[in-house]
Structure 1
Amino acid sequence: MSGIPYQPKGKFLWDFWVYEENGEYHLFYLQAPLHPDPHTRHRNSSVGHAVSKDLIHWQEKGTVLTASEDDKAWDSVSIWTGCTVKKDDTYYMFYTARSKQDVAEGGYVGHTQRIGVATSKDLHQWEKYQGNPVLTADYRYYESAAEAHNKHEGWRDPYIVYDEEEDIYYAFITARDKAGDPKARGCIARAKSKDLLHWEVLPPAVSPHTFTDMEVPFLHKHNGKWYMIFAVKEQWYSEEYKERIAPIPMWSIPMLYRDP
């Protein structure tokens, strides 16, 4: 196979997630108008949708989730990475967003990240939950924007898993904890819920004090163990960690696991 299997017309595409049901794959992805400035793209991102039967040939279904037009809304800046799960007969799309009401020193808008949810009965038409945001950082465990080295509050990239043994949902989130080197506080936050709408934020699932950020966590269970995969940039590695892993290339993908 060669070439690009799918690309939305006239738009950038980056972070994505896939939901499969009855042999049909639903691709949800961040999209933005073509523009050379990455900051401009991130300020204008929304969620697009495409479907496929074979993961090769895709049919574009348009935009399914956009930022609120109300400047006072919690999600008035842009929509960022999330995930999609199903409970009973309803689909839940969790997503990250920021607000124009949050203005940092220097005039940066949208420095605080929060997580909300939209629901659907058919994976095509989505309605934002009126009680959003459903997940925000708990400052007992996690760094606030005021405490951050870059004055940005990290709370994004939710990934939801269902634990059958406990009959409960867990959310894993890109965040920063409160201790240690301000540029090495990247962690994966954790929260739990019974109904996907009301959440209890817990201490970090993992906080190695090794990276500035640990993005887009993904969990997979194999042979009785949970494996967590996450993404980091080379410039987010601490100097101590660079020395410890040498000569492993900086672009390798970190992975953690634990016993059940």
Structure 2
Amino acid sequence: MAFSKDGHWVWDFWLADDGERYHLYYLHAPTSLGDPQLRHRNARIGHAISGDLVEWEDLGEVLSAGDAGDIDSSATWTGSVVRGDDGLWRMFYTGSRFLSPSEITNVETIGVAVSDDLHTWRKDPRLQLQADPAWYEILPDGTWHEEAWRDPWVFRDSAGEGWHMLVTARARGARSRRDTDRGVVGHARSADLLHWTVQPPLSSPGGGFAHLEVPQTVRLGGRDLLLFSCDAAHLAGDRVGAAGGVWLADAESATGPFDLTGAYLLTPESLYAGRIVEDRSGTPRLIAFENGGTDGGFLGRITDPLDIATDGAEPRAVLYVQERNPA
């Protein structure tokens, strides 16, 4: 059964695994808002648990927006959860601050909340990580409607030398708002999960994406890949007019560089913000939120785990990793 919440839209999500149960953290906003687009200004983080990624027990809201002037004064957006060497769980999330009730101008900052048990979370105000204008577009540049710095995906360095964070970001250097092909994978590093240093992006602009949302590094079929989402409305360059959805891009390693020019679709845009998680058998499964129904309306619920075939077969009842045609 797909995960849904009565009276609410549910969309972006991330998961943590304590070895016995999966913990689902999800964005939600009340359908009483009327317009699904208003959900972004009113997003809060909820929590559900499951033993099998199918049957979920909803535990309600765990992280809310902050006070006026806080990095999350408007909404709490997408993130990820890891466990540090000190045994504490940390939820890195996006703080959203809309500057006007009538415009989409928005500043995004990465914050963190800490938990002993994955149930009760307390924000740690010491982390307020922002885009570094040395490499990334910021709102005063006037070339985009938001300061894009969101969807932190945190993972341990393979050599045990600290932690990496991937971020939805835009490269600096656009000449105007029509120069949309600036989406990149932002990057930051930390030795202790508290003190972070922003690094140059792990991809180059010009890959055909105005943004690369909810990035995740994965390994499928013996190769490193970048999983991300981009809708048709935010495709750029030579991709304008093509279909959007959940994408895959080849990578030299979990920390890139990522080949965005060769990125290819994994799912259509009816599914979005996909995450790959291993089930209890160790099999990678795809979970996404249902972005639209047959009537064109926003559904706002999360799928059951979906199979992924990596043999290049034509899609049947399962989703698949599409093999690229030889050059």
TM-score (norm 2): 0.70
Question: Where in structure 2 are there 5+ consecutive unaligned residues?
Answer: 255-327
RMSD: 2.2
SS at match of 1:136: coil
SS at match of 2:139: coil
Equivalences, count: 248
Corresponding position of 1:253: 247
Residues 149 and 11 (structure 1), Cα distance of their counterparts in 2 relative to 1, 3 Å cut? same
Question: Where in structure 1 are there 5+ consecutive unaligned residues?
Answer: none
Distance 1:252 1:151 in 2: 23
Return the match for 1:178 from 165, 169, 172. Answer: 172
Residues 189 and 7 (structure 1), Cα distance of their counterparts in 2 relative to 1, 3 Å cut? same
Superposed displacement of residue 54, structure 1: 1.4
Superposed displacement of residue 99, structure 1: 2.9
Distance 2:2 2:145 in 1: 38
Q: Contact (CA 8 Å) 2:171, 2:205: kept in 1 or not?
A: no
Matched, 1:115 2:110: yes
Distance 2:125 2:244 in 1: 42
The amino acid across from 2:213 in the alignment is E
Superposed displacement of residue 132, structure 1: 3.2
Superposed displacement of residue 98, structure 1: 2.1
Distance 2:173 2:144 in 1: 15
Residues 7 and 259 (structure 1), Cα distance of their counterparts in 2 relative to 1, 3 Å cut? closer
Corresponding position of 2:20: 23
Matched, 1:155 2:152: no
Q: Contact (CA 8 Å) 2:8, 2:30: kept in 1 or not?
A: yes
Matched, 1:196 2:201: no
Distance 1:45 1:259 in 2: 33
Distance 2:139 2:147 in 1: 4
Residues 177 and 118 (structure 1), Cα distance of their counterparts in 2 relative to 1, 3 Å cut? same
Question: 1:130-185, CA deviations, whole angstroms, 9 ceiling, x for partnerless residues?
Answer: 2131x210000000112243331100000011113142100000000012563111
Residues 259 and 20 (structure 1), Cα distance of their counterparts in 2 relative to 1, 3 Å cut? closer
Corresponding position of 1:129: 124
Q: Contact (CA 8 Å) 1:99, 1:109: kept in 2 or not?
A: no
Corresponding position of 1:87: 84
Corresponding position of 2:140: 146
Superposed displacement of residue 116, structure 1: 0.2
Q: Comparing 4-13 with 233-242, which one deviates more in the overlay? A: 233-242
SS at match of 1:208: coil
Distance 2:104 2:243 in 1: 35
Superposed displacement of residue 227, structure 1: 1.6
Corresponding position of 1:14: 11
SS at match of 2:200: strand
Distance 1:197 1:212 in 2: 29
Residues 136 and 122 (structure 1), Cα distance of their counterparts in 2 relative to 1, 3 Å cut? same
Distance 2:240 2:37 in 1: 28
Superposed displacement of residue 237, structure 1: 2.0
Residues 141 and 18 (structure 1), Cα distance of their counterparts in 2 relative to 1, 3 Å cut? same
Distance 2:174 2:166 in 1: 21
Distance 2:7 2:213 in 1: 27
The structure, 1 or 2, with the larger RCO (C-alpha pairs under 8 Å, 6+ apart) is: 2
Distance 2:143 2:107 in 1: 13
Distance 2:238 2:2 in 1: 40
Return the match for 1:229 from 217, 227, 230. Answer: 227
Q: Contact (CA 8 Å) 1:71, 1:99: kept in 2 or not?
A: no
Q: Comparing 201-210 with 82-91, which one deviates more in the overlay? A: 201-210
Matched, 1:48 2:46: yes
SS at match of 1:258: coil
Q: Contact (CA 8 Å) 2:105, 2:145: kept in 1 or not?
A: no
Question: 1:92-128, CA deviations, whole angstroms, 9 ceiling, x for partnerless residues?
Answer: 001001236xx36x96376211000000000000000
Superposed displacement of residue 203, structure 1: 0.5
SS at match of 1:235: helix
The amino acid across from 1:120 in the alignment is S
Quote the sequence identity (%). Answer: 34
